[in-house]
Structure 1
């Protein structure tokens, strides 16, 4: 009996691309994931027009201007929302984007979730400022939406160091995060720093990306060099790639359901009476994930 290939999962990406570089890697990974059908990308946090420029330019480089882009809620900038890749889009005019561009990201996101004819996966890899207004306008969309996020710190922080911290995507907008964790999603799964804070490409893995002639990967490395202030011998921590992975697979990870509560000071704590959440709490095979990431990025 022949096996049929599953239909791609409809997904929406909410991203604060343009401060830390990992969102840029994550977007490239998303575009290299045939398991996922990207319906919309929304910029979030700080100067959301700047962030939308990076998304649009990368989509042009990748030949994926079929994907609509929306500008999320703008905020005043601070040191956490720095425009670290501004040089790359200094001369980019959003009006030149050949695809659909929505100036009101909340309306676009709400419409996309309301009009979904099948369960949709909402991948959030930044602070969650854009999401509560959608839930306020159309709370019922949560029941048809699977939430995948890069949020929190349970027992570890960066590079596997022990000790929980108020993770940035949570603490930047705690009230928004609390609202999202209170919503009745079809399913909720997160990668906290315990797992995503350990992903780095080194040696041959990194060189495979650097030496690629693929325009999208060349753009990723160009942005990385801008962000880093020069060439590097390895990647930075690629937090958000784990959230992209969780949209289509749990391979390489140990995932379990635990009760979660977001505290007012931005900690992600476990409580029996907390919000039942699927958590990628540890790695079964980190090296295997990194190898799979490189293979996915370099296979065009």
Structure 2
């Protein structure tokens, strides 16, 4: 049995790549997928997750819908500027219809059921806002022992994308992010956009994926709006698969280099709301509150190796399925 994994997600183009990376892996036991508001509203993120799993031939994987809004404040806007009106560059309906009905329980209840049934600790990869995970840990603290670690795509050490200070996933629900990253004690790896942007892939990479088979071609077909956005953001013809980088670490622990760092999440209403603040000063001089939380923050990787890892798994998997 491979890595036991649950993905909590808000698809999203990069989420679609991340789900596929796990769904095609023969060394991954994908137990379930839960959805959350984020890049687009909950109904769309849920439908997108179901369609991506259908593309991968994974009718065995249950999907449950979760939070439709943040814990405290309304979500100011979606990410249509990058992901398109439906989250998948306006091309969601080109994917297969869902092959399995939506679970009749909500995301938190599905998470509890899957964790309690697992024979060994499970990795959870939250790659959207952390609302579902915060609710899970608050309402069901007994499941902590069944979680091996959280591998979270979110935050920025030195930059943001939705604001100069904040990355989209954390900014979408800072109170939930603080509950998970600062107030809880579940082992966590935070994969920030500082690193995921460095892992950007180019047109040749996408061309190889497109030529690999029906799944690769379908994934590439979801990227036009996203790719247009990243041409502007990067200044060259490439795209950033943020969430796939986190899922790569979830299924291949150690593919990313990490540092244990104290962390805070800014929940104030000012211009730094949603910022992840890590203390990289030497411990001998850093003045930290006793309540400071320490998480493993991904800071580096073999960039070409990471790109090759993701591409190799997607293309091999794409060739194995019709």
Q: Give the TM interval when normalised to the shorter protein.
A: 0.7 to 0.9
1:289 CA displacement = 1.1
* C-alpha separation in 2, matches of 1:92 and 1:156: 34
State how many pairs are aligned: 283
Structure 1: state its 5+ residue gaps. Answer: 1-6, 159-163
Residue of structure 2 equivalent to 1:221: 220
* C-alpha separation in 1, matches of 2:167 and 2:134: 19
Choose from 121, 140, 143 the match for 2:145: 143
* Paired residues of 2:4 and 2:30 also in contact (CA < 8 A): yes
Change (3 A) 1:81 1:114: farther
Measured against aligned partners, the alpha-carbon deviations of 1:93-120 in whole angstroms (never above 9, x if no partner) come to: 97x6336634522221222223332101
When normalised by structure 1's length, the TM-score is: 0.84
Change (3 A) 1:267 1:227: closer
Change (3 A) 1:74 1:91: farther
Residue of structure 2 equivalent to 1:57: 51
Residue of structure 2 equivalent to 1:190: 190
Residue of structure 2 equivalent to 1:121: 123
Measured against aligned partners, the alpha-carbon deviations of 1:233-284 in whole angstroms (never above 9, x if no partner) come to: 954211111110111334553212111111222221124552121111123x
* C-alpha separation in 2, matches of 1:172 and 1:26: 20
Residue of structure 2 equivalent to 1:266: 274
SS of alignment partner, residue 6 of structure 2: strand
* Paired residues of 1:29 and 1:241 also in contact (CA < 8 A): yes
Change (3 A) 1:61 1:248: closer
Choose from 248, 271, 277 the match for 2:295: 277
Is 1:79 the counterpart of 2:73? The answer is no
When normalised by structure 2's length, the TM-score is: 0.78
